[in-house]
Amino acid sequence: MQKERLFGCRYGYFSEDGREYIITRPDTPKPWVNVISNGDYGLIASQTGSGFSWLTNSNLNRITRYSQDLVKDEMGKFIFIRDRESHEYWSAGWKPVCTAPDSYECRHGIGYSRITSENHGIQSELTIFVSPDEPVEIWILKAKNNSKTERSLGVYSYLEWNLGVYNVENREFQKIFIDTIYDETLSSFFATKRLWEVTNSRKENMNANWDYIAFHSASELPASFDGDRESFIGLYGAIGSPRAMKVEQLERHTGKWVDGIASLQLDVNLKPDEEKTLVFVLGVTKEKQEAAELIRKYKDVREAWHALDKVAELWEPHLQGSTIETPDQAMNFFTNTWLKYQTISCRLWSRTAFYQSGGAFGFRDQLQDSQMFLTYQPELTMKQILLHARHQYTDGTVKHWWQPMTEEGPDSHFSDDLLWLTFVVSNYLLETGDFSLLDMREPYLDGGEGTIYEHCKKSLDRAFRRFSPRGIPLIGEADWNDGLSACGTDWIGESFWVGEFLYDIIHRFEPAMIFMEDSEFKERCGMIADLLKENLNKYGWDGEWYLQCTTDGGKELGSKNCQEVRIFLNPQVWAILSGIVPEERLETVVRAVQEHLVKEYGSLLLYPAYTAVDEDIGYLTRYAPGLRENGGVYSHAATWAIQAFCKLKMPEAAYDIYKKICAINRSFDIECYKAEPYVMPGNTDGPDSPNYGRGGWTWYTGSAAWLFRVTHEHILGLRPAGNGLKVDPCIPSEWKGYQVKRIFRNAVFEISFENPEHVSFGVKAIYLNGRFIEGNTIPVCEAGSKNQIRVILGKDI
């Protein structure tokens, strides 16, 4: 009997353990990709077999060309297979030849993608991955002859060199600096570039060296090769039907005077039923010697398989680090595997996806993303904290983003950026109880160094100096909502949301101030917080809900009196999360959110969308209505709405948004959703878009780590508290129970929740290793210990 296809749709389904997404046809409604990285070398592979690669920085150091074309998805890295007798040819992926395969399957897994297809009686299985500890990607191609006759095949790799900054539009210029050779001894391509388009150490433009050597080789001796795009494709030709497929041998062009590519032709004869495995590698090193060693190593097919085994070893600690088992299979698959993978492989290690390829660290983005590690390896959050602290100036301001390798990036004039440091530090302290972080020292960008406590204090101090005369934080270039980019250019406009965020952080940071015995600063913070609460409620309340901000010219945004966008989500949600909302207003705020913002696909960031450009507000008003921040479901912010409903103990409302934004559930209306159902999108089109419900900007920053955190802490309800793990769930009452495994203060906790009374919250009893404990907080246990906890939910004790 055929097994049920989990979350099956017209285009694919999940494997039983949820760790693979299996695409069953190549023509998915958008490219469905995998973002694969070892933390330094990375690549994107789409279900069509297209993709691109980089080292260290997916923007400044692209090895192969990338084209942000989600319609064609022809990023320029392929395998062609040609029957040398019949002259038929096809692709091992699907692109660029796009013949209709007799069978096709693409498995996107954790650290690898595998496309299996059958064309003209030849079955090919192409596995693409990155070695966990080497700057090299490996393509293992198994080819099997399923036909009755002996077959003689040509297998051709194809890739277009980029070698440095992404600049494909400027091809005629870029190609002049690239040099390729074919090394006969190693039977391998080498490629170098005599320019790296970044500022050099003498602050000169267009005068830096690209200090690397790229290589491409195969496990078998190539029959021929080509390094020239023109001879491969043919003048006025097309990559899907290149000239190279119409001749017996490639042209063997290399050098400085061509449009540099690398293609290796391997000739393979296959008897009926015979299978052969070929390996191609692409990599980049500093020294040729190192490259030569990798080339030699991967001539041995066994080494390639061994490297694939090591990929699994790289990921296992992350996948096993914390796990959940709930009646909601989509939540399990997402939380145990894909949210982690999106956060680590894409957001922290690659910082690129198909929809947006940045390469940089965003001051606020990766700090937030790194919170994903808190439930099992908080050292990694700490590492991120230290990195971001090094991107702060002595006056407390920070870089908005910076490029690893060159450190280039704008100074931030956003009012919230600098605060995320203090926010994440506070959360780390709460999780770990490791206050020694506060004494660690990191340099400032403009000289000198300070402890992490001082770094955080400087953030707060700078934020305190940016208040309007009526005591509301100024918005500056924008707040969390980037698109409000013109509201506060002159530092007059205010952000009520930043006020709430700041209020939250002041309280969150209190344990640090107490630990540091900094009573003077603590008192100052306390006073500011009190004033903030008062002022936000006085000036930020429009009678029905909270305003988002004001502009330099005094315009109020997100008010019931506005012509467009009458309500924003964040100021309502953070009024609840921060606790600034007085009891008597709470119901009104909640009603406003439910009435105006919670819709079919989740909670909208604002409503209704801007339809007219407003120069005083910013580019938010220039987005098409219903897209991204302009009235879409912005996933990052939607996760906070779930948290707010959990805080208010509104389980149906919280779970309703969860289900709607958990992309796995969109498998069931995939023709509307269109995007990958295994990762979070940045946004989903809102009701003002004709494509209401369509997913966009998948693999994006913010949402995966936050959804993970909100699931663990607020839905499943295991939150660090000063003296232990507080148990405070907010779950659907139908659930009979669930399990969570997480690490807390270096001890393992295996927690089993039972819900005999079918409640949504409330803890009746907790047993720690068989012993009843008072209250609803699991105490800190001995480091290294493994503990079994039984939680009986029910009417509060």
Q: Return residues touching ligand GLC (CB under 6 A).
A: 362, 364-365, 480-483, 629, 636, 701-702
Rounded to an integer, what distance in angstroms lies between the CA atom of residue 111 and that of residue 311?
6
Rounded to an integer, what distance in angstroms lies between the CA atom of residue 362 and that of residue 372?
16
**DSSP symbols for 108-131:** EETTEEEEEEEETTEEEEEEEEE-
Rounded to an integer, what distance in angstroms lies between the CA atom of residue 738 and that of residue 279?
44
The CB-of-480 to ligand GLC minimum distance in angstroms stands at: 4
With H, G, I as helix, E, B as strand and everything else as coil, classify residue 188: strand
Residue nearest to ligand GLC (CB): 482
Q: What is the dihedral of CA 141, 144, 147, 148, to 10 degrees?
A: 140
The CB-of-420 to ligand GLC minimum distance in angstroms stands at: 9
Query: Which residue is listed with tokens 């232990």?
Result: 724
User: Around 651, how many Cα atoms within 13 Å sit in the side-chain half-sphere?
Assistant: 16
Comparing CB distances to ligand GLC, the nearer of 40 and 482 is 482
Comparing CB distances to ligand GLC, the nearer of 20 and 685 is 685
The CB-of-501 to ligand GLC minimum distance in angstroms stands at: 11
The CB-of-636 to ligand GLC minimum distance in angstroms stands at: 6
Comparing CB distances to ligand GLC, the nearer of 414 and 541 is 414
With H, G, I as helix, E, B as strand and everything else as coil, classify residue 275: strand
The CB-of-643 to ligand GLC minimum distance in angstroms stands at: 16
Comparing CB distances to ligand GLC, the nearer of 398 and 725 is 398
Query: Which residue is listed with tokens 């003002």?
Result: 688
The CB-of-365 to ligand GLC minimum distance in angstroms stands at: 5
What letter does residue 248 receive in the DSSP assignment?
A: S
- Angle of the 519-539 helix axis to the 496-508 helix axis, nearest 10: 150
Rounded to an integer, what distance in angstroms lies between the CA atom of residue 639 and that of residue 703?
7
The CB-of-362 to ligand GLC minimum distance in angstroms stands at: 5
Comparing CB distances to ligand GLC, the nearer of 12 and 702 is 702
With H, G, I as helix, E, B as strand and everything else as coil, classify residue 312: helix
- Which residues touch 617 (CB under 8 Å, ≥6 apart)? 484, 486, 487, 551, 555, 557, 610
Query: Which residue is listed with tokens 């400085």?
Result: 256
E strand or H helix at 217: strand 213-218
Q: What angle do CA 712, 13, 662 make, to 5 degrees?
A: 30
Comparing CB distances to ligand GLC, the nearer of 157 and 343 is 343
The CB-of-551 to ligand GLC minimum distance in angstroms stands at: 17
The CB-of-410 to ligand GLC minimum distance in angstroms stands at: 13
CB-count burial class (<10 Å; 0-12, 13-18, 19+) for 45: buried
H-only helix segments in 211-338: 229-233, 288-297, 301-321, 329-333
Comparing CB distances to ligand GLC, the nearer of 497 and 658 is 497
* Distance (Å) of CA 350 to CA 34, 37, 39, 393: 11, 6, 7, 26
The CB-of-120 to ligand GLC minimum distance in angstroms stands at: 45
Comparing CB distances to ligand GLC, the nearer of 414 and 735 is 414
Comparing CB distances to ligand GLC, the nearer of 679 and 727 is 679
* Distance (Å) of CA 269 to CA 102, 141, 145, 154: 21, 14, 9, 9
Comparing CB distances to ligand GLC, the nearer of 569 and 642 is 569
Comparing CB distances to ligand GLC, the nearer of 485 and 550 is 485
The CB-of-491 to ligand GLC minimum distance in angstroms stands at: 19
746: left (phi over 0), alpha (psi -120 to 50) or beta: left
The CB-of-725 to ligand GLC minimum distance in angstroms stands at: 29
Q: Are 401 and 410 in contact (CB under 8 A)?
A: yes
Comparing CB distances to ligand GLC, the nearer of 284 and 419 is 419
* Distance (Å) of CA 670 to CA 23, 333, 609: 13, 18, 24
Token readout for 479 is 């707040």
Comparing CB distances to ligand GLC, the nearer of 362 and 651 is 362
The CB-of-684 to ligand GLC minimum distance in angstroms stands at: 14
